[in-house]
Amino acid sequence: MNYKINNLVFQGGGVLGIAYLGVLNYLYNNGILQRMKRVGGTSAGAITACLASFSLPFDEMKKIADTLDYKKITQRGESSDFEKIPAVVRKEIARIFGDINCIYRLITNYGWYSSEYFYEWIKEQIASQFNSSKKLPPYTFKDFKNSYIHKKQRPFLDLYVMGTDISTNSSKVFCFETTPDMEVATAIRISMSIPLFFESIKFDKNITPKKSVPYVFSDGGIMRNYPINLFDSHYFMDKIVNGVNIQTLGVRFKSKTKYTEINSFIDYIENLIKSFMKIQQDMYNNNPEDKLRSIEIDTKDISFIDFNISPNDEKYNFLYQQGYRATKDYFENMYPESLYRYDLYNGA
């Protein structure tokens, strides 16, 4: 079949993003991934998009993904600000209020856990795709477009990463067109910074030559967890059909609403995020065009913040297989219907 797909978009979903490896496996094995021109996503979807942008064989992509130690992602860390506080005092504070480092981070950086481990990991994976003799890190969106400095001068797919600018209450797309000089690893770190769960990322921006103000960024999923409309403009396609880019394929998770007992601050954060996502889910449910161009993965009851997972363990294998099965089912059943409907729009 002649697959008319140029763009790939991934929803945010924490550890559920492991399922995207199954998606990439199917797409690569069937020659679909190799046809892509652009890839984008939010949070875990942004991580997947970054790996896919390298244009590697699937086995190499999976090998990179499996170097991520999920159990290290939720780091409590230690702040040097507490070095002058006697250990016995720190211990008593922790006994009363909980982990003192997490509390301090929540107050100062608006998140319970550090994202430093993930940031160092994604920087390392990105650097592995560049020829450091031609350019040293950090590597920007502009560098992603410059195949001369890539290993084997291999062209990358165009990469688009979603973030949220908390300071201006706006959604941001980090890419070559909008932020060419931004470090890609930082953009992805922003995109995966689940609000309150992970620390926010701060930048100083100049508003005059002598004055700067701090901007605070967080998870792109706050506003656009499933940016399926990322490429819905004539800039990316000559003809938009019924308001959508028919050459975009999205991948997302099936939504479930049920009662969840809240017994901790982390439980509260998880359910707060699910509440944020509900309005976005309702918008998706009411848009048949988006459903036609979306693969939906059923992840059952696995929590998106269950980082107690390892490559090839039971949960990992389940998610991986669910991603593969959902993609196979889409192309065997849903995709032909999508082509038929779009051909009607085109007057075929």
Q: Which residues are catalytically annotated?
A: 43, 219
Distance between CA atoms of residues 232 and 212, nearest Å: 34
The pair phi, psi for residue 248, each rounded to 5°, is -105, 135
Alpha-carbon distance of 269 to 138, in angstroms, equals 32
Rounded to an integer, what distance in angstroms lies between the CA atom of residue 322 and that of residue 329?
10
Backbone angles phi, psi at 161, to 5 degrees: -120, 130
**CA nearest to 58, candidates 10, 26, 11:** 26
d(CA 277, CA 322): 22
Beta strands in the chain (DSSP E): 7-10, 38-41, 111-113, 158-165, 170-174, 196-198, 201-208, 211-219, 248-253, 294-297
Q: Could you write out the DSSP letters of every residue in 71-121? A: GGTSB----GGGTTS-HHHHHHHHHHHS-HHHHHHHHHHSEEEB-HHHHHH
Q: Give the Cα separation of 8 and 36 in Å (integer).
A: 7
- Residue 198 φ then ψ, to 5°: -110, 150
Phi and psi dihedrals of 300, rounded to 5? 55, -130
Distance CA 275, CA 255 (A): 11
The span from the CA of 196 to the CA of 342, in Å, is 42
